[in-house]
Amino acid sequence: MRFVGRGGMGEVWEARDHVIGRSVAVKLLPSQRGDSAGSERFFREARTAGALHHPGVVTVHDLGQDASDGSLFLVMEFLQGRDLGTLLLNDGVPPVDLAVAWAAQAAAALAAAHEAGVVHRDVKPANLMLTPAGRLVIVDFGIARFVEATNKSSKVMGTLAYMPPERFDGQPGDGRSDLYSLGCVLSELLTGQVPFRAGTPIAMMNAHVGRPPARPGETRRGIPAALDDLVVALLAKDPRDRPATAREVQQRLSTLATSNPVLTEPDLGAGRLAALPPATGIAQDAALHPAPHAPDRAVVGVRPPRGGAPGSGPYRTGDAAPETEGGDQDGAARDPEDGSPNQATSRRRFLRLAAGAVVTAGAGIGIATAVSRDRNRWPFHASGDVMDGAPVVADGVVYVGIGRTLYALDAISGARKWASSFSGGVSAISAIAGGTLYAASSDGSLYAVDAATGAVQWAYDTGGAIYRSVPVVADGVVYVGSSDLHLHAVDAARGNERWTYLVGGTQTLSPVVVDEVAFITADMPGVGLHAVDVASGTRKWVYPDTDRKFAASAAVADGVLYLGDGGGHFHAIDIASGTNTWESDLGPRAYFSTATVAEGVAYAGSDENGILYAINTATGVEKWAVALEPIQPGNTGCTPAVATGVVYAGTTKNFYAIDAVTGAKKWTFSADDTTSYGSPAVVNGVVYVGGGDDGNLYALDAATGRELT
């Protein structure tokens, strides 16, 4: 144990969790003895904030109250790094593109919090931690509101330079208040000073309320006009005049940061940041912009860098060891019956025992757990968690992501071989390449996982949640789309970024890689299907130039891409030229699943009309259409599988086997506790299919539809 320091929100101690083998941060807040309402408010705020799972939000492992003196405590991940306030003070202003990248990460984290109903209320440089790997993490979610309620004067004085005008009017504020504070931070990163400088607190408040902000470009040359406009919009006096959401801010910043592909070679030595120019010093107002301090840093081992080996010096990435901790257990310092904090541990005793008592999972990478092979026969059940992606079967093992855990199961018995847990949901997994499978997660990371042991080899942070993009491996590179609106090319062996390509839209879908070209689209009208050269990360062509929306990825066969749009049209596109080979109108408006092509036929389901189509790939003529129930659109949810002349497809109610030639139903499977079926995998006469909403993975006889037991 080690005392880290003391700040406006209490003491911070570093402790050691000997069970998992990691450092944790223990934050001790002011005593609430005799104030049951204050304690309840703390638990409510901390639990709400602790439910957030995002790479840019500090992870809360546990919380409780000292029975001896009433002190409240939080156990959090321990972060190596510096807050932006310290960084600005010591290194000066960063290059413009780096400031934009940091602000985009902060906006992404705020977006995740706001969408979960959590407002930070104290966004400032001292609460923005930058790890040696370049990951920006927001700390103290939920604590600011609690401290404000118990010690308002400290709260006001500590954050006056970043406080939105509506707070001075006594309004609680919402997510747009956080955006104003983020605008203050971004302005400071760009210019070296907060937007408003004043000699007294009253003058500072008056400036926030009545003085128009200066454009950063008036202070520093080289700032794009669009970035100036965004800062001014964030600093609007009326919340209604600011950007509506943090997600919008993230997208605008991402567009500014990546208007052109960013190429990163696998071996860059000190990394991309090494070539950045030295920063200049800045002046600080000690009264209204106090020097940053270390005590309020709470939090985890860092992720590997995105691009090459770490460097040193101002605005370089430092040495970073990859995380190896994780898991998904319940905290040992918590009452198993009602989840309330254990009251038997005193504050000092807790500091002595914290390392051994806390076993709750932290951020990022999970820990693989070996399990006996004589349990968990079919169906495999994972505690009611949601299963998003399709299973992968290889060498007698079924790999499947359910909830936040990746499982390896014996393909015959269903017995669990290992499990590896993550901070976000496992949304999709790739086929195995070189003994490694690649898992995409809603926490925004792409993980390389040893298929034999479940050990995580590396993690790559895409900067946005991954929901509907299945990783694809080709020639030693992994390709995956992210909600940061980009296609990412990542070195399969080391996890280094090769390049990123801006697709746009709202949710980038699964890529397809053929003949050194990656094809990708996004779930938004007008984005189109992009062809990207895999060597350079540059665009070859986009199809079409109309306002079409493709809700699923393309399938490819014999030099042609096949996919449906939201208007009931199905397209065949030449991969070399991006021209339309044919387009079929299949009737009512419907979004199609990703198609499966076999024997000259494309099989695709539609969501709204619940029809499974068989389409001749040479002519676009419909061969047959069978009415089922509505089908979830998307490339990770309902892509049909074809094997030995049979099409296997799931709907929101049943799972079907359908004759591939005639469209006749061969058998139907339905489980009592499942109301949605995902994409199947068919191997050696067995169909493996997940119940998307109940955490079950079923093994069915492909010929009869009977469950294996």
Q: 31-45, 87-101, 380-394: which has the highest mean pLDDT?
A: 87-101
Q: Provide, rounded to the nearest whole percent, the portion of the chain with pLDDT above 90.
A: 42
> Rounded to 5 degrees, what angle do the CA atoms 698, 700, 701 make?
165
**Radius of gyration (Cα) for the chain, nearest Å?**
26
Measured between alpha carbons, how far is 542 from 520 in angstroms, rounded to an integer?
10
Q: Tell me the mean pLDDT in the region 450-468.
A: 90
143 C-beta neighbours (distance < 10 Å), count: 26
The whole-number pLDDT of residue 224 equals 92
Peptide bond into 379 cis (omega under 30): yes
In the structure, what pLDDT confidence band is assigned to residue 574 with cuts at 50, 70 and 90? very high
Confidence of residue 6 (pLDDT cuts 50, 70, 90): low
Check residue 367 and give its pLDDT.
Answer: 37
User: Can you tell me the mean pLDDT for 469-483?
Assistant: 95
Q: What are phi and psi of 375, to 5 degrees?
A: -125, 175
Helix, strand, coil percent values for the chain (each to nearest 5): 20, 30, 50
* 673-695 mean pLDDT: 82
Residue 122 a catalytic site member:
yes
pLDDT of 230 above 60: yes
Among 23-32, 502-511, 656-665, 693-702, the range scoring the smallest mean pLDDT is 23-32
- For the chain, domains (ranges, CATH) are 1-30+323-358 (no CATH), 79-257 (1.10.510.10)
Question: pLDDT tens, 47-68?
Answer: 766 778 888 988 888 888 877 7
Rounded CA-CA distance 273/6 in Å is 32
Asked if the model's pLDDT at residue 431 lies above 80, the reply is: yes
pTM across the whole model: 0.52
Q: Which of 17, 122, 484, 491 is catalytic?
A: 122
Q: What is the pLDDT of residues 615-672, one digit of tens each?
A: 999 999 999 999 887 655 443 347 899 999 999 998 878 899 999 999 999 999 988 7
Higher pLDDT, 270 or 404: 404
The letter for the amino acid at 60 is V
Mean pLDDT, residues 297-304: 29
| Residue owning tokens 């509101």 | 145
Q: How many helices (H) and strands (E) does the chain have?
A: 11, 42
Note the pLDDT tens digit of each residue in 231-242: 999 999 999 999
Residue 5 — pLDDT band, cuts 50, 70, 90? low
Average pLDDT score, the chain: 76
Q: Which two tokens stand for residue 356?
A: 């051994």
pLDDT at 700 over 90: yes
Mean of the pLDDT values across residues 102-117? Answer: 92
Cis bond upstream, residue 544 (ω within 30): yes
Query: Is the predicted pLDDT of residue 563 greater than 60, yes or no?
Result: yes
pLDDT over 90 (residue 501): yes
Strands of the sheet containing 128-130, edge to edge, are: 82-83, 128-130, 136-138
The whole-number pLDDT of residue 381 equals 82
Q: Is the pLDDT of residue 113 over 80?
A: yes
Q: Are 502 and 270 in contact (CB under 8 A)?
A: no
For the beta carbon of residue 114, count every other beta carbon within 10 angstroms: 19
308-317 per-position pLDDT tens digit: 322 233 443 3
- Is the predicted pLDDT of residue 686 greater than 90, yes or no? yes
Nearest Cα neighbor of 209 from 174, 165, 246, 151 is 165
Query: How far apart, in Å, are the Cα atoms of 102 and each of 27, 365, 612?
Result: 25, 22, 45
Find the range with the poorest average confidence among 263-277, 516-530, 567-581, 651-665: 263-277
Q: What is the pLDDT of residues 126-180, one digit of tens each?
A: 889 998 878 899 987 755 554 454 444 334 434 688 999 998 877 778 899 999 9
Examine the pLDDT at 69 and tell me if it is beyond 80.
no
| Model pLDDT, residue 493 | 93
Token code pair at residue 111: 């977006």
Q: What is the pLDDT of residue 507?
A: 75
Region of 475 please: left (phi>0), alpha (psi -120 to 50) or beta: left
Residue closest to 120 by CA, chosen among 70, 71, 74, 178: 178
